Structure 1
Amino acid sequence: MHLAPGDPVDFLVSGLEGASKDFIILLKAKYGFDKPVHEQFIIYINNILHGNFGYSFYFHQPVLKILMSRLRNTLILTSASMFIELSGIILGIIASRKAYSLTDNLITISSLITFNMPYFWMAMIFILFFGLNLKWFPIMGMYTIGTSGSDRIISILRHLVLPAACLSLG
């Protein structure tokens, strides 16, 4: 943050017409930007360790509240990705049992291709091919709006396939 010119308070008041110097000094003192960098860092680490991640000027709420609101979907996505990764272990076992066979060669080549392909490139290919061309999977959102019960669970699973596959294959 200190490599950029100014500080967050300067950025915050840049959109305010006629912000007085006293107001800017008060804000810098409130958020600790009037202290040396090493003190700011110690205060920052202390706050993080106590669960105080600060306040988002963009969302106008505490950062911890924003993180917690997105934690459920993050855990669902990472769990689905880990489940797909476990299938990779099974494929590795199959490939090792049939060494130098067509199955081994296909698994090895496909794993080398997906492992060396950048995530963003694989994601674009998956979206274009499986989402837009074949229309097998939705390309955005966590679930289809208007679904409930078992239909919502199926919708969530369908929405998870592409991002979880990209995370686990990459």
Structure 2
Amino acid sequence: MFVSNSVSDPGWPRTRDALQAAGAERQSELREVGYVLPGVREVLQHIRTRAEVIQAVVTGNIVQNAALKLATFALEDFFDLDAGAYGGDSEDRHDLVRLAKIRAERLYDAVFDEKNTTVIGDTPRDVEAAHEGGARIVAVATGVDSEWELRAAGAHLVLQDLSDVDQAVSVILGR
């Protein structure tokens, strides 16, 4: 059984509700300032067609806000949110990759290990979480961290962005 410090805290439901309300309140602002990076939708679409691939979300956001953010940019249909892990599940980011693997294993009756689990992230913390969680990491240098910083953090592979869809799909699938 997986129990986090935040979920066992009696004040957690109030905190979760406040986070969810704040997310909903800022959705229109997110829609105005946010955008889907080049290649992302196409990569997700290509990968979705692969029967052997489950696309889940691992994020520090609570599940409700992760779903809201994905829906804001019409990306929600690409992911199985039940197979993901979220900030409300654990205060320790490193737990989230492991938890997502456990959930996916239960849902899909399959084993997920470093050979068949890939985290796509854009920060050194994502790289660290993937390593701690027993997953490959493909880092994408579209955030504030440079390609060099992501490599130095230990990313298995680093892409500048996802605009070369064929290359990105190949790398993500480990081919």
TM-score, normalised with respect to structure 2? 0.27
Which entry has the higher C-alpha Rg, 1 or 2? 1
Compare the two structures and name the one with the higher strand fraction: 2
Q: TM-score, normalised by structure 1?
A: 0.28
